[in-house]
Structure 1
Amino acid sequence: MTASSLPTSARPIIHSTVACVIQHNGRFLMVEEAKGRANTVFNQPAGHIELGEGPVAAIQREVQEETAWQVALTGYLGLYVFHTPEGETFHSHGFTGVPERLLPTAIDPAIVATHWLTRDEIVALATEQRLRSPLVLKRIDDAQSNRHFPLAVIHE
Structure 2
Amino acid sequence: MNNWQPHVTVAVIVERDGKFLLVEEEILDSHVDVYNQPAGHVEHNETLIEAAKREALEETGFEVEPTALLGIYTYTPPNKPDTTYYRMCFIAKAIHHYERPLDEGIIRAVWLTLDELVTSNRARSPLVIKCIQDYLRGQSFPLSAIYEHPTSQ
Q: TM-score, normalised by structure 1?
A: 0.88
- Using the aligned pairs only, state the percent identity: 38
The amino acid across from 1:119 in the alignment is L
Tell me which amino acid in the other structure corresponds to 1:84. P
Describe how 1:1-156 pairs up with structure 2 within 5 A. Answer: 6=1, 10-36=2-28, 37-85=30-78, 86-87=80-81, 88-125=83-120, 128=121, 130-156=122-148
1:104 CA drift (Å): 3.2
Structure 1 residues not aligned, in runs of 5+? 1-5
Q: Distance in 2 between matches of 1:106 and 1:39?
A: 21
Deviates more, 1:56-65 or 1:34-43: 34-43
SS in structure 1 at match of 2:123? coil
Length, aligned pairs only: 145
Q: Which has the larger radius of gyration?
A: 1
Q: Stretches of 4+ moved more than 6 A in 1?
A: none
Matches of 1:44 and 1:33 in 2, distance apart? Answer: 10
Provide, for residues 63-84 of structure 1, a one-character-per-residue CA deviation record: whole Å limited to 9, x for no partner.
0000010112121012101112
Q: Once the two structures are superposed, what CA deviation does each residue of 1:8-65 show, in whole Å capped at 9, x if it has no partner?
A: xx33111000011110111100101112233301000000001111211100000000
Superposition deviation, residue 100 in structure 1: 1.1
Compute the RMSD of aligned alpha carbons: 1.2
Residue 146 of structure 1 aligns to which amino acid in structure 2? Answer: G
Deviation, structure 1 residue 103: 1.6
Most deviating of 83-92 and 14-23: 83-92
| Counterpart amino acid of residue 106 in structure 1 | P
Residue of structure 2 equivalent to 1:3: none
